[in-house]
Amino acid sequence: MVEAVRVLMLLMVGAGIWAAWRRSLFPGTWAHTFHTAYAEERALLTQARSELRAVDKDQRRAYSEADAKVGSVRGEYEQRVGKLKREVALLEDPGRGTERGRLGGLVLYEHAVLIFPEGRQLPLAGLQARVDRSERDLWLYIHPADDSPELVRLPHRRDPATAPDEIVEIFDEGQVRGFEMKINAAAAAEKRFRDGLPAQLAQAREELAEARKDTGPLKTAEQSRADVMDRNRTDPRRKEALANLTAERNAWQDLTGRRPPK
């Protein structure tokens, strides 16, 4: 019983909301809003509203498509220019580059070697590395082109004088010599990179300048959007549909004394 009352109340609320909405569309007496005697007048007003909404919907769709095209073309332009700007910036200041390997306190990067714990960074251009060994240690000599060399100790045998609880990293000779080869190979690659850098940078700057100037597709898309706006503004279909709706609203006002909304 309670559930039935609840459903009935919901139906009554829904009916009240629908009636209020209907009254807002067709103001006047209850007969004007609901009676079949005025069904034709309501139908004519409804049709006029639908025709105007259809034209407006078509215009919004046309503008939305043109605007989306502008956004897409602009995005492609900015993405292309941004990519080239990043390439130029990276060539102008390569930095360390990507990490290529680690051994003890050494970190090999694409363009430099970093030595810990000193934190000294040596550029790879002109750098040479070689390995020497003693009874307990392997020594990796790193000779920069224009700086004092670094000598890195890499134990390959534990020193008996070391405290038993002290942790000592032991390095295999093949491992150290492999890292020596990796450093020298990276230094050779860096020389090739530096030799070709001026030409590569000039080409990248030229490509960036050309990409910045290539605004033709974007201007075309923006003009197409402007054309759509002009067509929408002067569209005779909307003028006709609006005039028809205005006439039907006037007719309804003459009939009921109340002016209906668009």
Mean pLDDT of 218-232: 96
Residue 129, helix vs strand vs coil: strand
State the chain's mean pLDDT as an integer: 89
| DSSP strands (E only) in 104-260 | 106-109, 112-115, 120-123, 128-133, 137-143, 150-155
| Residue 160 pLDDT exceeds 70 | no
For the whole model, what pTM was predicted? 0.73
* pLDDT band at residue 10 using 50, 70 and 90 as cut-offs: low
Asked if 240 contacts 36 with a C-beta cutoff of 8 angstroms, the reply is no
Asked if 256 contacts 32 with a C-beta cutoff of 8 angstroms, the reply is yes
| Residue 86 pLDDT exceeds 70 | yes
Given the structure tokens 């890195």, which residue do they identify? 152
Nearest-Å Rg of the Cα atoms of the chain is: 40
Mean pLDDT of 210-224: 96
- CA neighbor of 146 nearest in space, from 128, 131, 160, 133: 128
Q: What is the pLDDT of residues 164-180, one digit of tens each?
A: 666 667 889 999 999 99
Burial 82-114 (b: 16+ CB within 10 A, else e): eebeebbeebeebebbeebeebbebbbbbbbbb
| Residue 9 pLDDT exceeds 70 | no
